[in-house]
Amino acid sequence: MGNVIVAQSGGPTVAINASLAGVIEGTIGSNYDKIYGSINGILGIRDDNIIDLSSIVASDPHFLKRLKTTPAMYLGSCRFKLPAIDSGDPIYNTLFEQFNKYQIEAFFYIGGNDSMDTVDKLSAYAAQIGSDIRFVGVPKTVDNDLCVTDHTPGFGSAAKYIATSTMEVIFDAQIYDNPSVTIIEVMGRDAGWLTAATSLAKTECCDGPDLIYLPEVAFDKEKFIQDVKSILGEKTNVVVAVSEGIRDAQGEYISASTGTLDNFGHAQLSGAGKTLEYLVKDKLGVKVRSIEVNVLQRAAAHMSSLTDINESEAIGKKAVDIAEEGVTGAMVTMERISNAPYEIKFDYAKIHDIANEAKEVPQDWINPEHNGVTKDMLMYLRPLVIGLPDVEYRDGLPVFVTR
């Protein structure tokens, strides 16, 4: 048989390189010959910026193990959406000429929604021109908002980092005997999964956040102040977790908009947490601070979930398996067979059924007061954060791999 090529795209997570390791390992155990890597997503194929991963693996015995726990993207990323396949754009011709040049029989794209759209279009184009190159998507997103799959690679690690950091912030918040409010702002513009993960901080040694607000329900400022006031009547130090994407009943973000748009036309949010900090200060006059968990929630490889890293690797291997079986235009998925003991079945689904639909937190996993999550949410989250991968350290700092 011929060769395969793999690329990564979209925003980083700490598990996307574990999926790359999985694709490489899957290829090594397959009938495919070489595995190539395309630099900066699909653009590396277009621009002939391609590296030979097989020879890197052969020359560095530590490579795959270190790659598994390296954050972000070894191959680099891109934000590039393919034009419609009937657009007449020459890029399709360029890409398939490149596939022929490198004798590619399967292309694996590790990424989010945009990458799945690329896989969908390339497989449709292949069908149109009679090419039998396989196109398989390997999902990743810290946001956990992809449909069909039980959860997404990258989410469990972000959830573990967020839950652990929330617990540590709660310990930090408890030291003084004076009333205080601490607001933790978590990523998630439309889906509240990451913010919900703060609920995991409730353990035998920690109360967890006292209030949790997700973007799936309209945020009511008056009710929020009443909620905080009520908890302040019971305990000294109140900790609140909010999603960056909370909106009021009119759909307006609870944040000071800077009025500027980012490179993709999204409105720049300047902090739901900061906004609520000012609100609490104004209305309750109590000591208050806000903490933005920030980019570390998707980058903190040192606090990733072993379950997530192992699943991300397995999903990469599965992608190679199904390509060998002849599947194309599909994304690898996870189905939860049982929760205790936790068991996952790896499967796949046609990408056409997945793209452009976001999976929100179900309303019945949010408490009736709209300021917390239910036991169902906790049961869903718990297995995803178990274990710490064996990150290698040298001189006290992690050892990662770079190109």
Binding to a second copy in span 290-309, by CB under 8 A: 291-292, 294-296, 298-303, 305
Nearer to a second copy, 145 or 277 (CB): 277
Binding to a second copy in span 252-281, by CB under 8 A: 254-256, 258-264, 266, 268, 270, 274-275, 278-279
Nearer to a second copy, 206 or 349 (CB): 206
Q: How far is the CB of 289 from a second copy (least distance, A)?
A: 8
Buried (b) or exposed (e) across 143-158, using 16+ Cβ within 10 A? bbbbebbbbbbbbbbb
Q: Does the annotation count 172 as an active-site position? A: no
Report the interhelical angle of 91-101 vs 113-129 (nearest 10°).
80
The angle formed by the CA atoms of residues 308, 38 and 75, to the nearest 5 degrees, is 45
Binding to a second copy in span 92-131, by CB under 8 A: none
172 touches a second copy by CB under 8 A: yes
Binding to a second copy in span 31-70, by CB under 8 A: 40, 43, 70
Nearer to a second copy, 254 or 331 (CB): 254
Binding mask 340-379 for a second copy (x = CB under 8 A): ----------------------------------------
- Tell me how far apart the alpha carbons of residues 52 and 88 are, in angstroms, rounded to a whole number: 31
DSSP 217: S
Residues 70 and 301 sit within 8 Å (Cβ to Cβ): yes
Report the interhelical angle of 306-324 vs 16-28 (nearest 10°).
40
Number of H helices and E strands in the chain, helices first, is 13, 15
Residues 212 and 202 sit within 8 Å (Cβ to Cβ): no
162 touches a second copy by CB under 8 A: no
Q: Could you give the maximum distance between any two Cα atoms of the chain, in Å? A: 72
196 touches a second copy by CB under 8 A: no
Closest alpha carbon to 240 in 257, 221, 256: 221
250 touches a second copy by CB under 8 A: no
Q: How far is the CB of 126 from a second copy (least distance, A)?
A: 26
282 touches a second copy by CB under 8 A: yes
Binding residues, by number, are 11, 113, 141-143, 187-189, 244
Nearer to a second copy, 55 or 258 (CB): 258
Tokens found for residue 200: 């995991």
Binding to a second copy in span 2-21, by CB under 8 A: 12
Which listed residue (117, 143, 145, 210) is catalytic? 143
Nearer to a second copy, 148 or 184 (CB): 184
Residue from 48, 171, 335, 390 binding a second copy (CB under 8 A): 171
Nearer to a second copy, 28 or 279 (CB): 279
Tokens found for residue 241: 């977790």
Binding to a second copy in span 71-90, by CB under 8 A: 71-73, 76-79
Closest alpha carbon to 156 in 14, 288, 317, 363: 14
Q: Is the torsion defined by CA of 104, 109, 114, 117 positive or negative?
A: positive
In DSSP terms, 247 is beta-bridged to 253
Q: How far is the CB of 124 from a second copy (least distance, A)?
A: 27
The angle formed by the CA atoms of residues 251, 146 and 25, to the nearest 5 degrees, is 150
Q: Which residues are catalytic?
A: 143
